[in-house]
Chain A
């Protein structure tokens, strides 16, 4: 009996150890973890594509997990650092260098032609994932920044409908009209000042970019000040949402909550995802322009594999399937934007309807005007995106002067970039 505590403790420790270490497949099956971000609708179409993949590849199980964009990266960061990242996952431009530079993303270049096909992918969208001889991921599709707006409200307010070539001044005027017409029940536009992505377009319209080829900042503190001053002008004129409304994103963006009649979105597939919310009262327009339109042909996102996956072959097969296989393309439709694969794109566009047709038409409209994508953001870029918002909040709430705040932001931005250079 004396030995019992020893045995019991040993047993308990063994159980603990097993609980920590146990995982992996059973009976010859491989289980892949596939992580995506996005809406419920997107999850459903991805599930359908994944099901098609599993049907065609018996022996491979795919577990798909979905999260909203911010929690997705919070979780990915900890999982990556802990060495238990998903095998296959979606990658954004802002996080690409962050991860690739830290050797946690698989280089697909050696597998091109064997396992991963790229011949049919539209070259414009291959740029982001390509880095010298490396290929960090395949583009899921092509999207373009757009401005969904409520055409009914704009017409009622007597505002001119936005069209290719309209300017920021036109936007100010139109948005003001809408705000006045609804007695500020619905504002003409959502405050755009705090989102780095729109600042990117503003820079691009003047021939500048967020980052240079060498991963330095491609703009000055004056550029930030100008942008924030313009946003302040809009807000003070009543054209854009006041700070409390802009800040309240618990139930979605201001336009989604019907506090504003227009806003910018990174994703031309925004509308169809939320179509019901607007009862069809929405249309897509190009952003107001400066010297030029400043929009890029952007891959919606990349699909990448973990450098530490123990199922390399299966992971590559899944990536290839999702991007190139007609069965997957059919399941995905336009949920990620225009398919990156030329053949699939033509195939899909043949029978689009409703909101998806609108997206296609928008892409057709701006397609010829699109520029080649900017250099991929360097390490530290994902932190700057958040900092841009945090610093702008002080401007938005009238707690800081736009110009002083721009200088403070720029100083910290430079430091973040410097910190991240090896």
Chain B
């Protein structure tokens, strides 16, 4: 017995020393595709874009240093930049909370044991698998185009329309609907979170006479708050960077009347349509800072509403 224990305890140690420990190079070699990728595809271009953001660069001739001019113009002298920030903020502020609410609502329904719950879970998750795909955006556009299904529906209710995507009041709503519909990923995470909440808490609350809404407010929400926080951060960051949907639905213009000119779309137009890559690079860095700021604010606010189980308060 003793020998067996010693042997089994010794074995892993020997393996650690003998096989890999002596050759860290081998480990790095296995990592090299990732490291190379990170350096060549990520860090390099990032530094290059930081440099370019201080230059006047048209993609063809060599860049010339102009200091902070790009940043200055963006903040003081570019009305369309303002339009793009406004459109993006509206999209994030409406899209993300509604998406998360939908995700949580469906997760609560699915959390009840049912014979079909596996099927429904997959069915609700499917749209997210297709994610930001071009095909999906094309379908979306044809749903909301003139004389499309959305028009026919609104006509049914006696409200004539000429295609939601052609109406400055509604075009953004079409894109918000698209992101809301893709609630599958946060839903699955919510589901996992819901399964972690101990049933005893609900039982105890029921015994004390709490109704469903009180149980939701006093148990589900606080217990789930770390998961809500996680989803909020992740989906906010993603929503700021939406490109495909707006590109396809507006045909690359951000129209009608700049109402779907998302930040990334305007950035792309500056770089690849107007040949102003320096300006586009500066925009990319402002976006990065903007997202960092918003994420920071969410983190800060988390102190007052996110509760970790077992935490002393």
Contact = CB atoms under 8 A, between A and B. Distances in A.
The 10 closest A-B pairs by CB, nearest first: A244-B162, A102-B60, A383-B274, A81-B59, A247-B166, A393-B257, A244-B166, A248-B146, A248-B166, A247-B256
A248 B150 CA distance: 15
Contacts of B29: 5-6, 9
B276 interface: yes
B252 A397 contact: no
Given A5-B30, A70-B252, A383 B275 contact: yes
Interface in B133-182: 141-142, 145-146, 161-163, 165-168
Contact of A386 (B30, B141, B146, B253): B253
Interface string A314-353: 0000000000000000000000000000000000000000
Contacts of A415: 77
A390 to B, nearest CB: 6
Interface residues of B, number: 38
Contacts of A416: 274
Interface string A399-419: 100000000100010011001
Interface in A232-246: 242-245
B273 interface: yes
Contacts of B253: 386, 389-390
Interface residues of A, number: 45
A77 B272 contact: yes
Contact of B251 (A12, A70, A80, A102): A70
A2 B254 CA distance: 56
Interface string A246-265: 01111100000000000000
Contacts of A6: 26, 29
Nearest to A77: B272
A408 B79 contact: yes
B258 A393 contact: yes
Interface of B: 26, 29-30, 32-33, 56, 58-61, 77, 79-80, 141-142, 145-146, 161-163, 165-168, 251-258, 269, 272-276
Given A9-B29, A244-B163, A412-B79, A393 B275 contact: no
B275 A9 contact: no
Contact of B255 (A77, A247, A382, A383): A247
Given A6-B29, A390-B258, A412-B79, A80 B60 contact: yes
- Which of B30, B141, B146 has the most CB atoms of chain A within a 10 A radius of its CB? B146
A369 B252 CA distance: 38
Given A81-B59, A244-B166, A408-B79, 7 more contacts: A77-B275, A103-B61, A244-B167, A250-B141, A383-B274, A386-B253, A396-B257
Nearest to B145: A250
A399 B168 contact: yes
A98 B275 contact: yes
Interface string A354-369: 0000000000000000
A251 B166 CA distance: 13
B144 to A, nearest CB: 10
A231 to B, nearest CB: 15
Interface of A: 2, 5-6, 9, 12-13, 70, 73-74, 77-78, 80-81, 98, 102-104, 242-245, 247-251, 379-380, 382-383, 386, 389-390, 393-394, 396-397, 399, 408, 412, 415-416, 419-420, 422
Nearest to B58: A102
A243 B256 contact: yes
Contacts of A70: 251-252
A9 B33 contact: yes
A383 B273 contact: yes
Contact of B61 (A13, A74, A102, A244): A102
A70 B256 CA distance: 17
B276 A248 contact: no
26 contacts: A5-B26, A5-B30, A6-B29, A73-B273, A77-B273, A102-B59, A104-B60, A244-B161, A244-B166, A247-B256, A248-B146, A249-B251, A250-B141, A250-B142, A250-B145, A250-B146, A250-B163, A383-B275, A386-B253, A386-B273, A393-B256, A397-B256, A415-B77, A420-B58, A420-B275, A422-B61
A248 B33 contact: no
B80 A382 contact: no
A394 B257 CA distance: 5
A389 B261 CA distance: 14
B203 to A, nearest CB: 55
B162 A390 contact: no
- Which of B58, B145, B257 has the most CB atoms of chain A within a 10 A radius of its CB? B257
